[in-house]
Chains A and B, each alone.
With several copies, the nearest count.
Chain A
């Protein structure tokens, strides 16, 4: 058994609006001096610490958790899972 750090990123599916990202861009960043930014998207991240026999199992376990427990809402969000050695 080994310990893995797993990053789960939950973000909007394409086409779903992201008022928070837009607000940070328009009311904060573009109001300042930084005009080279053209888009900001917000996402939520969960960092799991999990003990499994290998990387692959860790990844599939976390994917399972995300689907089963509705860590993300499939109507609007998608999720991506990246495993790191702890």
Chain B
């Protein structure tokens, strides 16, 4: 752990003396990129954070939305990339644990987990397979043990993540508004550390997350203990019910240093704490180590003296340790002692306020030519291509993943993983729909349009269930920000997201920035990940079984936008071409109209059209429902395009509507009235997926064969190479 030379000078001038070693450690942790957001903070302010449903309280680590009837939803997203890249099982598991504690710290019960996973090429690379397999097991073992359903997510493989892993976890909490912790503290209140013991594992993790992986600081690995996390959840919720918690914060990156300084600064008080009171795992830990250890499964609670006994009783019941490590003072100082001896005594505002950077940015050179297309080999047999495409790791069903996650515990999961967004029922009679999406292939080609695309895709998924988007979570993952070209891609993505959020009035309720994601091959592609939460007031659209004779209508135009498409990259090994872009006006119109037709109950189901294009989206419907479909490509609305473009373009704002034939007329009336571009393009029947253009057959596949490949290919790859 170290400070940059100029940061050390700054620190000295702020406190007017040389810092002690403990002070240096505390500052290095808190001023690290991971904790301080020093490179990104200035710019993140551009995202709209307010909205009619957003509840803003001081000291919350997760976003809070009022969903009516006296209830709130909380949500947050985090990543655990560096640890997962060296220890995928423990790294991914503790990633789940970390974000769960963010949810818990507001006083709400965690009710759902989502995960976004990225690895190298699992077809070629055994290391990528190993990372993937163990990260999934890590998430499964942790979430399943907690009894919090992992209800959705996404998985993607790309060469840019070679020997690396992105493991993003989002979590949702639910509770009564009146039970939210209103963080407050007054002089004499007690500061209690609760949960797992503090050890040397995970030393310097936040620094580690901000360094590139080359140094491979392997001591920064944390061992997951989901059992103790489960007990912490129950103990804290019971303490909440007894109103024993004045203020609360989870321990994450930077350990005690960050948790203590941040909470005390937010509450505008001071603290005096004694490291000897911290329950440690190993003897002889130095105060520096205790202050920066990132041992998992710990929470910090501020309580009143009179409430301590009851809090201790609750901890005892759940067999977890709690230690009073200090008390609140009114002097705005962070005073760290060991017994009588002072090891650090810093003004809290110095600790938490790093000088924000305004890093230079420059448009990357590669972007000048990337949208130019090269001549591709022509395809003679689309059926054959389609069959192997359905088994491509990025297209294949992710059932091998979500089948290992308990996605039903808590008995809220109305729409289970395997469709578009997942839907939970809430105690106020409403429903919450949620999905996370990313697309580094498109973000690489056009960081702005790519990021907007992820946002729109997540919205689309939520809309498919009948939900109106009410909040967004963003997770911005990039390489080294000191490289102006990388920083430019960061800014472009952020601006795109901001524009979309403003236009659609979807507030950003939380997010995270992860920088310095570097692999032996260089920086990762820009990988923003967007989570969208949607609310359904009445009834979600639960996909009904598609049967013989049902109609398939597409809403939205298909355009010549093949850049970053799975087809270009997987089939033609070509990175480039025009990135799909979202037309805001059209996007809004389509969203609103689809929600309207869902409400009028004309549809059996709606599926969004995204990765792999129309060809994949329709095949998914067929395979999930085990029914064939006849599609006339000449009817697909949009520009006049070659066959491969109609099949595989990943243009946004497109929805596939499935309905009983008897509702077709009524549907067409609504769609026409709302002036959206749409067309009846197919009919479900038989047992074959058949794409035709005019009288020419383009693709002809047996559903059962296609399904076998699609369902099993990921599992086979992982288990048998």
- CB A66 to nearest CB in B, in angstroms, measures 13
What secondary structure prevails in chain B residues at the interface with A?
A: loop
A57 within 8 A of B: no
> How many residue pairs at the A-B interface have CB separations less than 8 Å?
40
Scan A7-24; emit 1 where CB is below 8 A from any B CB, else 0. 000001001111100010
Bound form: Cα–Cα A73–B720 in Å: 20
Given contacts A27-B719, A27-B720, A31-B720, contact A19 B223 (CB under 8 A): yes
Q: Could you say which of A17, A27, A70 contacts B199, with CB atoms under 8 Å apart?
A: A17
**A interface footprint on B163-201 (CB within 8 Å = 1, 0 otherwise):** 000000000000000000000000000000000000111
Are B225 and A19 closer than 8 Å at their CB atoms?
A: yes
Cβ-based interface call for B86 (8 A): yes
* Interface positions of B from 223 to 254, Cβ below 8 Å from A: 223-225, 227-228
A16, B200: Cα distance in complex, Å: 8
Chain B residues whose C-beta falls within 8 Å of the C-beta of A18 in the assembled complex: 223
Find A76's partner among B199, B221, B282 (CB 8 Å cutoff): B221
Is B90's beta carbon under 8 Å from chain A? yes
A18→B224 CA distance, assembly (Å): 9
Neighbouring B residues of A75 by C-beta, 8 Å? 86-87, 218, 221
- How many Å lie between the Cα of A75 and that of B225 in the bound state? 17
Whether, in the assembled complex, B71 has its beta carbon less than 8 Å from a beta carbon of chain A, the answer is no
Interface 1/0 per residue, B124-135 and A, CB below 8 Å? 000000100010
What are 26 A-B residue pairs whose CB atoms fall within 8 Å in the complex?
Answer: A12-B223, A15-B199, A15-B200, A15-B282, A16-B201, A16-B223, A17-B225, A18-B223, A19-B223, A19-B224, A19-B225, A19-B228, A23-B227, A23-B719, A27-B719, A27-B721, A31-B720, A31-B721, A70-B130, A73-B87, A73-B89, A75-B87, A75-B218, A76-B87, A76-B90, A76-B221
Number of interface residues of A (CB under 8 A): 14
B94 to chain A, nearest CB (A): 12
Residue of A nearest to B219 (CB): A15
A40-70 toward B: CB 8 Å interface, digit per residue (1/0)?
0000000000000000000000000000001
Q: How far is the CA of A73 from the CA of B130 in the complex (A)?
A: 10
In the bound complex, residues from chain A placing their C-beta under 8 Å from that of B199 are 15, 17
Q: How far is the CA of A79 from the CA of B130 in the complex (A)?
A: 18
Chain B residues with CB below 8 A from A76, complex form: 87, 90, 221, 223
Given pairs A15-B199, A16-B223, A75-B221, 10 additional interface contacts (CB within 8 A)? A15-B282, A17-B225, A23-B227, A23-B719, A26-B319, A27-B719, A27-B720, A73-B134, A75-B87, A76-B87
**Measured between alpha carbons, how far is A53 from B277 in the docked complex, in Å?**
35
**B310 proximal to A (CB < 8 A):** no
Nearest first, the 9 closest Cβ-Cβ pairs linking A and B are A19-B225, A75-B87, A17-B223, A75-B218, A75-B86, A70-B130, A75-B221, A76-B87, A76-B221
Report if B281 contacts A (CB, 8 A). Answer: yes
Q: Which of B307-360 contact A (CB under 8 A)?
A: 319
* Nearest chain B CB to A25 CB, angstrom units: 13
B272-283: CB near A (< 8 Å → 1, else 0) gives 000000000110
Q: How far is the CA of A76 from the CA of B223 in the complex (A)?
A: 9
The CA of A75 and the CA of B218, in the complex, are separated in Å by 6
Q: CA of A15 to CA of B280 in the docked complex: distance in angstroms?
A: 12
- Find the residue from B130, B200, B223, B319 having the highest chain A CB count within 10 A: B223
Which A residues touch B134, using CB under 8 A? Answer: 73
How long is the Cα–Cα vector from A23 to B231 in the complex, in angstroms? 13
Q: Chain A: which residue is nearest B297 at the CB level?
A: A19
Q: Which residues does chain B contribute within 8 Å of A15, judged by CB atoms?
A: 199-201, 282
- Which residues from A are CB-within-8-Å of B87? 73, 75-76
Q: Cβ of A16: which chain B residues have Cβ within 8 Å of it?
A: 201, 221, 223
Q: Is there an interface contact between A17 and B281, defined as CB atoms closer than 8 Å?
A: yes
Q: How far is the CA of A73 from the CA of B221 in the complex (A)?
A: 12
Residues of B within 8 A of A19 (CB): 223-225, 227-228
Which of A19, A27, A70 has the most C-beta atoms of chain B within 10 angstroms of its own C-beta?
A19
**A17, B198: Cα distance in complex, Å:** 10
Minimum CB–CB distance for B688 against chain A, Å = 34
* Closest Cβ neighbor of B216 among chain A residues: A75
Q: How far is B90's CA from A76's CA once the two chains are assembled, in angstroms?
A: 9
Indicate with 1 or 0, residue by residue over B371-384, a CB within 8 angstroms of chain A CB atoms: 00000000000000
**B223 to chain A: which residues have CB within 8 Å?**
12, 16-19, 76
Whole-angstrom distance from the CB of A77 to the nearest CB of chain B? 10
**Nearest B residue to A23 by beta-carbon distance?**
B227
- Complex Cα gap A18–B225 (Å): 9
Are B201's CB and A17's CB within 8 A?
yes
Q: Which residues of A contact B89 (CB under 8 A)?
A: 73
Interface residues of B in 78-134 (CB under 8 A from A): 86-87, 89-90, 130, 134
Task: Give chain B interface residues in 52-88, CB to chain A under 8 Å.
Answer: 86-87
B83 to A, closest residue via Cβ: A75
Most buried by B among A12, A31, A70, A75: A75
User: Smallest CB-CB separation from A74: which chain B residue?
Assistant: B218
**Min CB gap A22→B, angstroms:** 9
Which residues of the other chain, A, contact B221 by a CB distance below 8 angstroms? 16, 75-76
> Which of A16, A17, A27, A76 has the most B CB atoms < 10 Å from its CB?
A17
Complex contacts, A31 vs chain B, CB 8 Å: 720-721
Could you tell me the distance between the alpha carbons of A71 and B228 in the complex, rounded to whole angstroms? 21
- For the complex, what is the distance from the CA of A26 to the CA of B320, rounded to whole Å? 12
Which residues of chain B in 579-625 are interfacial with respect to chain A, using CB atoms and an 8 Å cutoff? none
C-beta contact mask, B197-212 vs A, less than 8 Å → 1, else 0?
0011100000000000
Residues on A with C-beta less than 8 A from B130 are: 70
Assembled-state Cα–Cα distance A18/B719 (Å): 17
Measured CA separation A15–B200 after assembly (Å)? 7
For B131, the closest partner residue in chain A by CB is A70
CB distance from A52 to the nearest CB of B (A): 24
CB distance from A76 to the nearest CB of B (A): 6
User: From residue B145, how far is it (CB to closest CB) to chain A in Å?
Assistant: 11
| Alpha-carbon separation in the docked complex, A76 to B199 (Å) | 15
Shortest Cβ gap from A75 to chain B (Å): 5
With A and B bound together, what is the CA distance between A15 and B221 in angstroms? 11
Among A18, A31, A70, A76, residue most surrounded by chain B Cβ atoms (within 10 Å): A76
B235 to chain A, nearest CB (A): 16
Question: Which residues of the partner chain A approach B90 to less than 8 Å between Cβ atoms?
Answer: 76
CA of A23 to CA of B720 in the docked complex: distance in angstroms? 10
Q: Collect the chain A residues with CB atoms within 8 Å of residue B225's CB.
A: 17, 19
Which chain A positions have C-beta within 8 A of B227?
Answer: 19, 23
CA of A43 to CA of B720, assembled, Å: 23
Chain A residues within an 8 Å CB radius of B281: 17
